Amino acid sequence: MIKQSKDNVFNMLVIVAALGYFVDIYDLLLFLVERRDSLKEILGATASNDEIQRVGKQLLNWQMGGMLIGGIFWGILGDKKGRLSVLFGSILLYSIANIANGFVQSVPQYAILRFISGFGLAGELGAGITLVSETMSKEKRGIGTMIVATIGVFGAVVAGFMGNVIENWRYSFFLGGGMGLALLLMRIGVFESGMFESVKEKKVARGNILSLFKSRKNTFKYLNIILVAVPVWYVMGVLVGFAPEMMDKLGVKSFVPENGKCVMFAYLGITIGDFGSGLLSQLLKSRKKALGTFLFLTGIGIVLYFTVATYSEAAFYSTILFIGFATGYWAVFMSTASELFGTNIRATVTTTAPNFVRGSLILLPC
């Protein structure tokens, strides 16, 4: 068995958290990949493109709503009952929801299952990163979160690939759910964080999200970490997600970007970026310097998107790859979120912050 030690960066916990995030991202992207095929079957062959797009957006909002509420629920539960129960509880919930998603026959059923799936998906990453941060040494924990994020984000590339390989969209959902359930078998050999266990014995309030807003200092600390990562979702949700419409509005006539290809190039860049930003943070011995470097690169990427990317198809996809790399500071963002607050509120902050960043997309519809 692989031991769970403070200095072993490939310990059982890192592997489980990384694979959990892999399945998490796979399931998140799976809906985007299979949305069209599944809705064509459920709405009937006569459904127009506009109707498919409208229902697809509604389902995405259900999923996002589930993630926002789930983020708060799992975060508080992580501080009250433990990080491990959230890690495996969330994996179990979204896996069952995804398997059930493979059986849907109507839009209301689809909406309920997207909500439950989003609710479940919201807990895994925060619980995993909190556990990794609390169980590894302060010198090595950044490498642990870097491994979790890098392996996890690769799930997006696999989702895109499997979407093309598996003909029947229902089987793709079964596969996603099945992978999650298989992961639960790895529960043996993973232990609760010692820091949490010691806090449990003390007379202290745990997971009180409202107390984050009782002092100015804590409120700004919490808001600052969320706002640092919002450009990631501006880039992914607006510039990459709506790339065909954006290039059209910019007057580009020589090529039309493909959504699937954009997502693939962007996530390939993010995978490399997550590894790069995590490594840079370790080399510089600073989270802020690594975040600053990648935020600066994101700024350059945005400028390139509105200028150079419009020249040709090759320039466009190169820019998408670069912009993906630049926004790959998610690993360092998650590390920092987990390191900002004390043990009695850490899971709440680490789980809610990424979900509020994802949820900020609701404020930026294109």
Partner 1 sequence: MLIDLIGLYTNRIEAIIITGVILFVIAIISLWKLEETFNKDLNYLEESHIV
Provide the binding-site residues for partner 1, judged by CB under 8 A.
133-134, 138-139, 142, 195, 198-199, 202-206, 208, 211, 214-215, 218, 220-221, 223-225, 227-231, 234, 238-239, 246, 249-250, 281, 285-288, 291-292, 295, 298-299, 302, 306, 335-336, 338-346, 362-366
Residue 2 or 227 having the CB closest to partner 1: 227
Residue 120 or 269 having the CB closest to partner 1: 269
Tell the smallest beta-carbon distance from residue 154 to partner 1 (Å): 25
Backbone angles phi, psi at 211, to 5 degrees: -70, -15
**CB 106: neighbour CB atoms within 10 A?**
10
Residue 101 or 319 having the CB closest to partner 1: 319
What is residue 163's three-state secondary structure?
A: helix
Tell the smallest beta-carbon distance from residue 93 to partner 1 (Å): 27
Residue 171 or 234 having the CB closest to partner 1: 234
Tell the smallest beta-carbon distance from residue 159 to partner 1 (Å): 27
The contacts of residue 302 (CB under 8 Å, 6+ apart) are 231, 235, 239, 323
d(CA 102, CA 90): 19
Residue 3 or 203 having the CB closest to partner 1: 203
Q: Which residues of 136-156 are buried (b: 16+ CB within 10 A; e: fewer)?
A: beeebbbbbbbbbbbbbbbbb
Tell the smallest beta-carbon distance from residue 289 to partner 1 (Å): 9
Q: Tell me the one-letter amino acid at 263.
A: V
Tell the smallest beta-carbon distance from residue 285 to partner 1 (Å): 5
Tell the smallest beta-carbon distance from residue 16 to partner 1 (Å): 20
Tell the smallest beta-carbon distance from residue 302 to partner 1 (Å): 5
Residue 47 or 279 having the CB closest to partner 1: 279
> How many degrees, rounded to 5, is the angle at CA 177 between CA 261 and CA 172?
40
Residue 38 or 281 having the CB closest to partner 1: 281
Sign of the four-CA dihedral 294, 296, 302, 308: negative
What is the secondary structure of 75-111 as a DSSP string? HHHHHHT-HHHHHHHHHHHHHHHHHHHTT--SHHHHH
